[in-house]
Each structure stands twice: as C-alpha cells, then as structure tokens.
Chains A and B, each alone.
Chain A
Amino acid sequence: MLLGEDYITEEGEFVINMGPQHPATHGVLHMKIWLDGETIKKVEPHLGYIHRSIEKMSESLSYRQFVFVTSRMDYLSAHINNQACALAVEKGLQIEATPRAQAIRVIMAELTRLASHQLWWACAGLDLGGVTPFFYAFREREAINDVMEETCGARLTQNYMVPGGVMNDIHPNFQKRVKDVLKQIKDNFHEYDEILTGNVIFQNRLKDVGYISKEDAVSYGCTGPTARASGVSCDIRKLFPYDGYDKLQFEEILSTGGDSWARYQVRMAEMLQSVHIIEQLIDNIPEGDFAAKTKVVIKLPKGDFYQRVETARGELGVYLVSDGAAVPYRCHYRSPNFANLSAIPRMAKGAKIGDLVAIMATVDLVIPDIDR
C-alpha cells in the first residue's frame, strides 16, 4: 500500500510515510506510520535504501582489505568497526596486538566514542528544535577529528586499525593534543548542561517518551546506551573485555528510566567515562612495536571466528567463516543499529507523531549500519 492508493485504512487510520528523505531520520530510513489522529498506532520501518552488500563484498576481499569497508557501515564509529574486524582476524591467527597497539587502539576507540556522542548530542538538539547546541558540540568534535587527521590521515573513514596492530605509529604531537582535547571537553562540558540538559522544553519532550521495559529491551536485542537506559547490563567492554579494557577503571552507566530522557542521560555520562578511560592511558602508552608481525597474505585456518566490540551505539559482532583461503568464505555483521531499530515500533506505540522524532533522536540510529 503506497501513499496515494489507499492512505486511509478501513478502520479510519491515516497512513503516512516518514522518509526516506527526511531530515530527522539522519539518512535514508523510511518509516511508515499508521495514525489515529495524532497518536501512533503502528510504525513499520522500511529498509534497503542504502544497501551496499558489504557482507558479500567482503567475500572477495582479502583479510587486510575487508577492514576498510566497515568504516562505511557505522561511519561515526569507524575506528571501532575496524577494531572489530582486526580483532576477529587476530583471533583466527591466534595472535594478539602488541601492548602499544592495544593502548593506541583503546585511546582511538574512546575518542571515536566521544566524537560520536557529541554528534548525537548535537543532532538530538537539532531534531528537537534547538540549532545552537549543534555548534557547541561540533567545536569539540572538530578538535577530536583534527587529532584523528594528524595520526591516522583521515577524519572519518580512518582505516587505522589493521590486523596485528595499527597502521602507523602515533604522531609525535598526539599525546599533547589529546590532553588538550580532554581539557577542552572537561572545561566546556558544563555548557552542554546549561544550554540543553537543563532546558525545560527539551526535558518535557524527552521525559516519559518512548518507554521500553527491561524485558522488552532484552527481547528486541537492544544493546548499547539504548538497553543500558532500561537497566540491561550489556557493556561488552566489561562483559567480554578486549584490547586491555579489563585493566582499566571505568563504570558501566546504567539507568532504570527506560525513556528517552534516561537514554539521554546515559549517553551524557558515558562521555565523561570515555574521558576518564583516555586519561588513564594517555601517559602510559607502552613502548615497543605498534604492530605485531603478520604475513603479507593472511590466511586464516579453517573454522569460524566471532568477535564482539562495544561501538558507540551497542554491540557490533563480526562473524568470519574461513575455508582456509586468503578471503573469507562468509562474513556477517551483527550491527547494533539494526537491533535497536526493531525496538522503535514498540517504543513509539501510543506516542504522538512528534515524539517519534524524539525517540529516533535518542536511539541514535546510523542508517548505513542498518542496511550495510
């Protein structure tokens, strides 16, 4: 049923399409909404507008090449996606990244998380009608991207983590600049609270909107801040530590609210935890090689390998099946956004149509990661 054919159902429900070209969906997501007046009866996400068959493409790329494609999935957590692939290959080779590479990887991953959460904060404000916060968040995000540019050579699709370690050593200025960025974030963090968190209009649009219970969050497969706001303990960094996260001190932020306001607060607190993690490592990067020695042509032994990491949006799983050749036999990604999207119809049921924008803003969807 397309719009124009039959847009009022027999029960008198009005059917409208939100997207695929809609500024609040942050990409080409198409939501079909059944409305009773202004109340949402049903939401149906339609996918496939940005499907690039990354999984199939990976079957013809070698284990060194297939890493770079994943930067294009969740482009805001590009580092962490690359890290997942690199870790999966390392698992197959039964090697571990060098201590120096691990420390660099964790710093980069947390910087990515900070940048990603800042973009989310900016866009959450933008979706709910506040344009000014966007620029405050981008001020800090720009500083992080400059650090990335200096060390990795690119700002968004870095392709810095390679099987065995990282592509090249950190830039001589790296430690100083990261410290400057952390200081800038800590100094300016109170501005975030002043301009958006405390704002009464913003609060009223998020509180008691898009509630999802703990049981529902588990059964829909939500991960990341979306699930942690409902009280589900699911931080992969704590539960299945990788790259030396088990040696670091940090808290898993949990909330029991379950609504959009809780998701907002969890993400805000996570930013400070990321700052805390980087602070522990930035002066203690071990000396040594930045990459373990690997063969030019990597061949994984027969078998299947699964590696999960915590991206800024939840659990990303990389599943590699190898038949002993230089390319993967099958490659599958368990993407966090796809699972989180499936919970949106549950969250939006009974809400007003304007609340759907607030729900999508706080779930923080990245559409290329849903379709892959």
Chain B
Amino acid sequence: MLKEYFGTIFSAIKSLLTGMKLTGYYFTHLKEIVTEEYPDNRATLKMADRFRGEVIMPHDEKNEHRCTGCQSCELTCPNGSIKIIFKQELQPDGKKKKRIDTWVYHLDMCTMCNLCVEACPSNAIIMGQDFEHSVYEKKYLKKVLNKPGSKLMDGVEE
C-alpha cells in the first residue's frame, strides 16, 4: 500500500521531468527553433508563387493589358467583388468598339477563391503576392485595376 503510494508519486514526478527535459533541450538549443521575424524580414520574405493575395492586372511596358471585357470574371465571382464599366472606343479603322473603361475591384469583398482567374479566357488577371491590405479607410479597398490611359493589347481579341 505504502509502496504503491510512493510509486505513484515517483512516476508522476518522472513524467513531469520528462516533459521538463524536452523544454530544457529547446531552451538551450536556440538554433533548432525557427520562427519568422515578421515584419523585420520584409526584405527577404518571399511568398509562394501561387500565393493568392489580391487580384492584379499585369500591364506591359506600352501600358497595355489583355482584358477584352468579356465579363467572365464578373459572372464567376461569388461575392460580386468585380464590376466592369464599359466605354465606346474609336478604332483606327473608324469603327467604334466596346472596351473596358474601369475594371473595379472591391478588395473588401474578395475571398481570394481564384475562380475569376480560372475563368479568364485571355489571362488578363492573375493573383498577386501582396498580402498587407490594411488601410485606414474602407474607400481605399475599392481599386481600379486598369491603369489610366491603358489599352487592349493587340491580338488578344482574336
């Protein structure tokens, strides 16, 4: 009876010491614990290529994008965070054609589900790696993705 009583106490202390030993090991081996020191590592921080931070529309050096305004993304978006406004643009051959005027992206509604990028037939939009979206006012989360004065790239529409 007494032996059992002290045996329980002994095994209890042993179990606690086993745990403490592990804690002590990591306490003395500082190099084995790898934590990322955000935001001090901003210069070296590299996100994964496929990381979905926000929707962006790449423009080339001539300020041209690939968006034809087919509205596939607008229809696919489950949250209604994309709104495309059109304009009539005079073409060099004298005809008028429907082109995008503003490609409005509501970042506050977006859930980064990637469905718009999947739906885009001309690869006009991709997912960007920027993940620091905090702003002071909500209005800054409404973005226009096509740059001012940008045009449709030649040969995308065919």
Which residues does A use to contact B, with CB under 8 Å? Answer: 61, 64-66, 68-69, 132, 139, 146, 149-154, 157, 159, 167-168, 171, 191, 194-196, 198-201, 203, 296
Contacts and interface: CB of A to CB of B under 8 A. Distances in A.
B2 interface: no
Given A65-B115, A154-B112, A195 B50 contact: no
Given A61-B78, A132-B23, A199-B19, A159 B113 contact: yes
Contact of B48 (A64, A65, A150, A194): A150
A50 to B, nearest CB: 17
B63 interface: no
A55 B52 CA distance: 26
B88 interface: no
B118 A68 contact: no
A290 B50 CA distance: 17
A367 B52 CA distance: 26
B11 interface: yes
B72 to A, nearest CB: 9
Given A153-B51, A171-B50, A195-B22, A68 B15 contact: no
Nearest to A138: B35
A68 B113 contact: yes
Contacts of A198: 15, 18-19
Interface in B18-66: 18-19, 21-23, 33, 47-52
A64 B77 CA distance: 10
Given A66-B78, A154-B52, A194-B18, 11 more contacts: A61-B78, A68-B111, A68-B113, A139-B33, A146-B48, A149-B50, A168-B50, A196-B19, A198-B19, A200-B12, A203-B15
Contacts of A139: 33
Interface of B: 11-12, 15-16, 18-19, 21-23, 33, 47-52, 76, 78, 111-115, 118-119, 127
Contacts of B78: 61, 65-66, 68-69
5 contacts: A139-B33, A153-B51, A157-B112, A171-B50, A196-B19
Contacts of B111: 68, 157
A199 B15 contact: yes
Contacts, number: 70
Nearest to A150: B48
Contacts of A64: 76, 115
A151 to B, nearest CB: 7
B16 A200 contact: yes
B39 to A, nearest CB: 18
Contacts of A152: 50
B16 A199 contact: yes
A122 to B, nearest CB: 15
B152 to A, nearest CB: 23
B24 to A, nearest CB: 11
B114 A167 contact: yes
Contacts of A296: 119
Contacts of B15: 198-200, 203
A140 B55 CA distance: 30
B22 A191 contact: yes
A153 B19 contact: no
Nearest to A157: B111
A296 B19 CA distance: 55
A203 B18 CA distance: 14
A211 to B, nearest CB: 22
Contacts of A201: 16
B115 A68 contact: yes
B10 to A, nearest CB: 11
A157 to B, nearest CB: 7
B114 A153 contact: yes
A168 B51 CA distance: 13
A196 B18 CA distance: 10
Contacts of A200: 11-12, 15-16
Contacts of B118: 167
A151 B50 CA distance: 7
A59 to B, nearest CB: 13
Given A132-B23, A153-B48, A153-B127, A65 B18 contact: no
Given A65-B78, A157-B111, A195 B19 contact: yes
Most buried by B among A151, A199, A200: A200
A69 B115 CA distance: 12
B23 A195 contact: yes
Nearest to B20: A195
A150 B115 contact: no
A226 to B, nearest CB: 26
A296 B51 CA distance: 24
A324 to B, nearest CB: 20
